[in-house]
Amino acid sequence: MDDAVIAEIDDIRTRLGEIAEEREHPSDDSDSQRKELLEEEHRLEARLTELEDEVADSETGVAEEEAAAHTDLTRSPKLPETPEE
């Protein structure tokens, strides 16, 4: 997984936590601030979903690739049968 993607996911989760705290303690201009926070929250959640889907898609088949890299999957050549004595 790309470090930049991990960092962005962490940043989004941190910001979503901050938004939750801000919503618990509204200021005097609470109606417009609440609306802005809600819009930002929806935008961040959508981006987080995109990133998580991107990570899931990029990791598809990782187990198979690793197994193939660590396992010799070539067939052994068929040896001629030896006559029984």
Kindly report the pTM of this predicted structure: 0.62
Q: What is the pLDDT of residue 54?
A: 84
pLDDT along the chain (85 residues), means of 10: 83 92 76 87 94 77 57 64 67
- Contacts of residue 78, defined as CB under 8 A and 6 or more positions apart, other chains included, come to none
Q: CA 69, 80, 78: angle at the middle one, nearest 5?
A: 20
